[in-house]
A = this chain, B = another copy of it.
Amino acid sequence: MRWSQTFIPTLREDPGEAEIASHKLMIRAGLARRLAGGLYTFLPMGLRSLHKIQAIIREEMDRAGAIEVLMPALQPREIWDQSGRYSVMGDVMFRLRDRQGRDMVLGPTHEEAITDLVSREIKSYRQLPRTFYQIQTKFRDEIRPRFGLMRAREFVMKDAYSFDTSLSEADKSYQAMYDAYCRIFERCGLRTKIVEADTGAMGGKWSHEFMVLADAGEDGLVECSSCSYAANLEKAERSVPETERPASSESLREVSTPGMRTIEQVSSFLGCPASALIKTLIYVADGKPVAALVPGDRDINERKLQNALEASVLALADEPTILRVTGAPVGFAGPIGLSIPVIADASLKNAANRVVGANRADTHMVNFDIARDASVSEFRDLVVARGGDACPRCGSPLSEKRGIEVGHVFKLGTKYSKAFGAEYLDENGQRLPIIMGCYGIGVTRTLQAVIEQLHDENGIIWPASVAPCQVVIVPLGATPAATQAVESLAASLEQADVDCIVDDRQERAGVKFKDADLVGFPVRVVISDKSLAREKVEIKARSAASPLLVSPCDAVQTIRNLLSQAPGQRQ
C-alpha cells in the first residue's frame, strides 16, 4: 500500500471533541471521524484494524464451534412485546414507524430475533446444542454518547447465543465462549481482567465481564490482592468481619440540626466523621415501604438490597411516602420507632454511638445503639464495595480499579425460550424449554480499548495482530538504488504475508516519522541513500528506543522477529 494512494488525515492537535487518550489518538491518527454525536465514520486505517479484530473473533468463534448468522438491525415491535422488553428497554432503544404505520425498533441486542428463529427451526434434542453468533451493527440511544467508540450510538458488536438441553450442557457452552473470549482478547494484544458481573436488564443468573483495565474506564471493579476474586462494583460482594459491641453506650439524645439534611451537612455541623452517621433510606419494594440502613460513608447498592428483599420492583420512596412512614420531611429519617421492616448493612451489626435521623424535622439523635434502639429484621451486605473492603472469598483486602467492558458472558436460563416457546422434544418425547446463554463483544469498543491500553505520548503502539499495517517503510533516498530497495522490500514483505505501507509522500522526514509514531505501525523501516551506502537499512520497533541497522537481505527476518515480540504476540 502507498500512503499517497490511501487516506490518512493525521492531525497535530488534539481534537476538541475528545476527552480521553484513545479518543484523541483515534482522531489524530486519522482512524475515524465524527459525523454526529456517537456516530463515527471509519477511515481506511481504522477500518483495517477493525477488520483484523473481526477476523480474530470469527476464527475463535468458529474454532469454538459457534455458527455464524446475520440478523436484521431493523425489527418489528412484536418480538419485543413478546419478551416484555419493549417497555423495559426504555429510551435506549431507537424506535420508529414504517410507512404502514407499524412500530419498529433498531436492535440494541438480538435475544428476541434469535430466539424467535430458533423457536421456529429447532424442535428436537437432536438439533442441539447450537451456538449462533453474528458480527453486526447495533444501535443504542445512549443518554450521553462519549469517549468516541467507547460509548457510541451505532457500533459493531459480536453477539452470540447458546441453546442447550440441560444446565450442565449450558455450562459447557458458557465455558466454551469464556475460553474463546480469553483467546480473542489475548490475540488482540489486550490485558483483560475477568470479573463477576450483574446481569442487569438482560435477565439471567450469572455473568462475567471482560474488562480492560484503564483509568478512563467507565466501570469500577474490585479485585482481591491474594485470591482470584474480582467483580464489577455493581455486583461486588464484601465480607464483613464480626465487630465487637462497644462496652457501654451512652444514652440516646436528641440534637437540633436545623436544615441539615445530608450526611455532609450533619457530619460537618456535629463535627463527627461521616462514618459515625447511619443513613436511613426509605424504599418501596413491590409496593411496600421498607427502611435500609447503611453507614454514612458508604453508598447503598440497590441491586444487593433488591436481592436481599427478594423484590421484583424496587425504587426510592417519594416525599409523601417518606413523610407518612417517618413522620418527617426528607433528610431526617431514622430507624427509631419505625413500624415498617428495617434491614441494615452487615457492618452495622454491633453499631453504637452513631448519629441517626430523629424522624422529626431539623432533628437528629446521637448515641444511637442499633441493638438497643431499633428493631432490625436482617443484617446483609447492602453497600457498594470499595478498595480496602475484605474479599468475600478469602478476606484479604480488595483493591479498586477502573475498567472498560469489552466482553460480557451471561447464563440466561429460560427467560427468552419460555417467552418465545423455544422448546425441544427430548429422547422421551417430552417438551422442554431450551436453556440459553448470551455472549457479547463490543468490537468497535475493543478497537479503541487497544489504543487506550497501548499508547505513549507520541501515539498508538499497535499490537502486530491488529495494526492497520504491520510495517511502514519510509524512503528517504533519491537514488535509483534506494527506490529499488524500497520496492524490493515491499515485495518481499508481501510475499511473507506481512502487510506494509510505503510512505511515498512529498514530506520532510520529520513529518513522516511523527506520523509513523502517531498512527503507531509496529515496525518502521527507513531506507536512505546514506545507510544503503553502508549496505544497511534502519529498522525500529514502535516501542523501541533506537533502531537496528541491518543488511537489506536480513530485513524481512528482522522485521518478523520484531513483530513476533510486539504486544499481542507476547502472551
A36 in the interface, Cβ–Cβ < 8 Å?
yes
Residues in chain B near residue A106, CB distance under 8 A: 74, 96, 106
A78-123: which residues lie under 8 A (CB-CB) from chain B?
78-79, 91, 94-96, 98-99, 104, 106, 113, 116-117, 120-121
A17 in the interface, Cβ–Cβ < 8 Å?
no
Determine if A39 and B74 form an interchain contact, defined as CB atoms under 8 angstroms apart: yes
Residues in chain B near residue A94, CB distance under 8 A: 74, 96, 98, 104
A9 in the interface, Cβ–Cβ < 8 Å?
yes
Determine if B71 and A41 form an interchain contact, defined as CB atoms under 8 angstroms apart: yes
A203 in the interface, Cβ–Cβ < 8 Å?
no
A219 in the interface, Cβ–Cβ < 8 Å?
no
A281 in the interface, Cβ–Cβ < 8 Å?
no
A392 in the interface, Cβ–Cβ < 8 Å?
no
A50 in the interface, Cβ–Cβ < 8 Å?
yes
Residues in chain B near residue A47, CB distance under 8 A: 68-70
Determine if A7 and B132 form an interchain contact, defined as CB atoms under 8 angstroms apart: yes
Stretch of A136-144, A232-240, A303-311, A548-556 on the interface side = A136-144
Q: How distant is the Cα of A237 from the Cα of B507 in the complex, in angstroms?
A: 52
A73 in the interface, Cβ–Cβ < 8 Å?
yes
Determine if B154 and A73 form an interchain contact, defined as CB atoms under 8 angstroms apart: yes
Q: How distant is the Cα of A387 from the Cα of B101 in the complex, in angstroms?
A: 41
Determine if B91 and A99 form an interchain contact, defined as CB atoms under 8 angstroms apart: yes
When each residue 357-374 of chain A gets 1 if its CB lies under 8 Å from chain B and 0 otherwise, what string results? 000000000000000000
A257 in the interface, Cβ–Cβ < 8 Å?
no
A150-164: which residues lie under 8 A (CB-CB) from chain B?
153-154
Q: How distant is the Cα of A400 from the Cα of B14 in the complex, in angstroms?
A: 60
Q: How distant is the Cα of A132 from the Cα of B41 in the complex, in angstroms?
A: 12
Determine if B40 and A72 form an interchain contact, defined as CB atoms under 8 angstroms apart: yes
Residues in chain B near residue A6, CB distance under 8 A: 67
Determine if B98 and A141 form an interchain contact, defined as CB atoms under 8 angstroms apart: yes
Determine if B71 and A36 form an interchain contact, defined as CB atoms under 8 angstroms apart: no
A34-91: which residues lie under 8 A (CB-CB) from chain B?
35-36, 39-44, 47, 50, 65, 67-76, 78-79, 91
Determine if A35 and B116 form an interchain contact, defined as CB atoms under 8 angstroms apart: yes
When each residue 544-569 of chain A gets 1 if its CB lies under 8 Å from chain B and 0 otherwise, what string results? 00000000000000000000000000
Chain copies in the assembly?
Answer: 2
**A443: min CB distance to chain B, Å:** 12
Determine if B41 and A72 form an interchain contact, defined as CB atoms under 8 angstroms apart: yes
Residues in chain B near residue A50, CB distance under 8 A: 70
Q: How distant is the Cα of A427 from the Cα of B50 in the complex, in angstroms?
A: 36
Residue of B nearest to A139 (CB): B74
Determine if B42 and A69 form an interchain contact, defined as CB atoms under 8 angstroms apart: yes
Determine if B70 and A41 form an interchain contact, defined as CB atoms under 8 angstroms apart: yes
A415 in the interface, Cβ–Cβ < 8 Å?
no
A5 in the interface, Cβ–Cβ < 8 Å?
yes
Q: How distant is the Cα of A59 from the Cα of B47 in the complex, in angstroms?
A: 15
Determine if B7 and A72 form an interchain contact, defined as CB atoms under 8 angstroms apart: no
A130 in the interface, Cβ–Cβ < 8 Å?
yes
**A475: min CB distance to chain B, Å:** 18
Determine if A33 and B117 form an interchain contact, defined as CB atoms under 8 angstroms apart: yes
Q: How distant is the Cα of A41 from the Cα of B76 in the complex, in angstroms?
A: 13
Residues in chain B near residue A116, CB distance under 8 A: 35
**A120: min CB distance to chain B, Å:** 8
Determine if B44 and A68 form an interchain contact, defined as CB atoms under 8 angstroms apart: yes
Residue of B nearest to A142 (CB): B99
Q: How distant is the Cα of A117 from the Cα of B7 in the complex, in angstroms?
A: 12
Residues A99 and B143 in contact in the complex (CB < 8 Å), given A33-B117, A72-B35, A75-B35: yes
Determine if A67 and B39 form an interchain contact, defined as CB atoms under 8 angstroms apart: no
Q: Which of A73, A78, A143 has the most CB of B within 10 A?
A: A73
Q: How distant is the Cα of A50 from the Cα of B134 in the complex, in angstroms?
A: 13
Q: How distant is the Cα of A36 from the Cα of B74 in the complex, in angstroms?
A: 9
Q: How distant is the Cα of A60 from the Cα of B72 in the complex, in angstroms?
A: 27
Determine if A72 and B141 form an interchain contact, defined as CB atoms under 8 angstroms apart: no
Determine if B35 and A71 form an interchain contact, defined as CB atoms under 8 angstroms apart: yes
Residues in chain B near residue A130, CB distance under 8 A: 7
Q: How distant is the Cα of A419 from the Cα of B403 in the complex, in angstroms?
A: 44
Q: How distant is the Cα of A72 from the Cα of B74 in the complex, in angstroms?
A: 15
Determine if B35 and A121 form an interchain contact, defined as CB atoms under 8 angstroms apart: no
Determine if A74 and B153 form an interchain contact, defined as CB atoms under 8 angstroms apart: yes
Q: How distant is the Cα of A73 from the Cα of B136 in the complex, in angstroms?
A: 12
Residues in chain B near residue A104, CB distance under 8 A: 94
**A35: min CB distance to chain B, Å:** 5
When each residue 240-279 of chain A gets 1 if its CB lies under 8 Å from chain B and 0 otherwise, what string results? 0000000000000000000000000000000000000000
Kindly list the 10 A-B residue pairs having the minimum CB-CB distance in the complex, ordered from nearest.
Answer: A96-B96, A42-B70, A39-B72, A36-B76, A91-B99, A41-B71, A74-B154, A72-B154, A99-B141, A9-B121
**28 CB-based A-B contacts, threshold 8 Å:** A7-B67, A7-B121, A9-B121, A35-B71, A35-B113, A36-B75, A39-B72, A39-B74, A39-B75, A39-B76, A41-B70, A41-B71, A41-B113, A41-B117, A42-B70, A43-B69, A44-B69, A50-B70, A73-B137, A73-B154, A74-B106, A91-B99, A94-B96, A94-B98, A94-B104, A99-B141, A106-B106, A137-B137
Interface residues of chain A, those whose CB is within 8 Å of chain B, are: 5-7, 9, 33, 35-36, 39-44, 47, 50, 65, 67-76, 78-79, 91, 94-96, 98-99, 104, 106, 113, 116-117, 120-121, 130, 132, 137, 139, 141, 143, 153-154
